[in-house]
Amino acid sequence: MKTSYFYIFLLTLIAFGQEKYKEKISNDYEMDMVFIKGGSFLMGSPKSEKGHFGDEGPQHEVIIEDFWMGKYEVTWDLYNLFVTRELDNDQIPKDQNSEVKIDVDAVSGATTPYVEMSFGMGIEGYPAICMTQLAAVKFCEWLSAMTGHFYRLPTEAEWEYACRAGSNQAYSFGNDTADLDQYAWYESNSNEKYQRVGTKKPNQWDLHDMHGNVAEWTLDQYLPTAYRTRRGEIINPFQKPTKIYPKVVRGGSWMDSPNRLRSAARRPSSKKWKRRDPQIPKSEWWHTDAPFVGLRVVRPLKTPSEEEQKDYWNYN
């Protein structure tokens, strides 16, 4: 019994001793990670919530395990390192306690887009956009190979848990949309473009831009009726992808109304997001018509097995 208590105490010390950290990607770039303590929450929204959509119900209790999440949305500064492959092996930080066993050169890289994908809205400190979910997943694999730490996209449940930051209201800060300007860039205040990450207030767990600026990819396949099938104790739910479209995007963007920025709001991806791509076949890496979609990464406290890691990086 004493050993058991000591083990729990040790895990607690480890968790709280790593509440946040900076992941060094290169000599010029670091990524801020925030520790998210696991727990239970009500996922989805009640029918009484203003702006409620049918795919947000019924509400159900979900248990989430500990993880770290990017404090900010991934910016072009970092994402372009993945696209251009400017870093070589000598510039990659070496981690003697590596969680992953993969060579950077083995990771598929995104092709250079045929147009400038920021569309003139800004690069340095601005969120990367227009990548497909495949590109976002492969970015996470590349990042893992670069750092030795296992990174992936958040599941839909992890994303909502982190966004809510303990709140059961429409937004992490409450229900009043009059307060939205303090926390989010959206259609009313964005000047028709995305903005630099971290320029609005964070939520209670120190995560910026969870509402608005750019919407964010999750791992899950989008099913409008997914919540209706969940029964009993639900731990770390994940709707594994079986096809390319649609996948779940969360958070709303600089183009959206307040309803789309709610913590429970869900959006399916669409092949229409490549409508103006003139290439044949159309690019599997870029969504020409989705200047509102970006990404944020997570790192689970419990590192999955090597086989499980590969699954996370290779779902359709």
Residue 11 in this model has a pLDDT that exceeds 80: no
Interval 212-223: pLDDT, tens: 999 999 999 999
Give the model's confidence band at 26: pLDDT under 50 very low, under 70 low, under 90 confident, else very high.
Answer: confident
Q: How sure is the predictor about 13, in pLDDT bands with cuts at 50, 70 and 90?
A: very low
User: In the 8-state DSSP scheme, what is residue 248?
Assistant: E
**How high is the pLDDT of residue 188?**
98
pLDDT per residue as tens digits for the range 189-210? 999 999 999 999 999 999 999 9
Mean pLDDT within 103-123: 92
> Under a CB-based contact definition with an 8 Å cutoff, are residues 96 and 84 in contact?
no
Using DSSP bridges, classify how beta strands 293-294 and 215-221 pair: parallel, antiparallel or unpaired: parallel
Reported as a single tens digit per residue, the pLDDT across 125-146 is 999 999 999 999 999 999 999 9
- Coil, helix or strand at residue 133: helix
Residue 1 structure tokens: 């019994």
Euclidean distance between CA atoms 216 and 252, whole angstroms: 8
Confidence band, pLDDT 50/70/90 cuts, at residue 307: very high
**For range 71-99, the mean pLDDT:** 81
> Mean of the pLDDT values across residues 161-170?
98
Alpha carbons 3 and 16: distance in angstroms, whole number: 20
Q: Which residue has the higher pLDDT, 111 or 41?
A: 41
Rounded Cα–Cα distance for residues 167 and 165 (Å): 6
Amino acid at 297: V
Using only C-alpha atoms, what is the Rg of the chain?
Answer: 19
* Percentage of the chain modeled with pLDDT above 90: 81
CATH code of 2-314, in short, is 3.90.1580.10
- Mean pLDDT score across all residues of the chain: 92
* CA–CA gap between residue 109 and residue 82 (Å, rounded): 7
Could you give the CA distance from residue 77 to residue 72 in angstroms, rounded to a whole number? 12
Whole-structure pTM value? 0.93
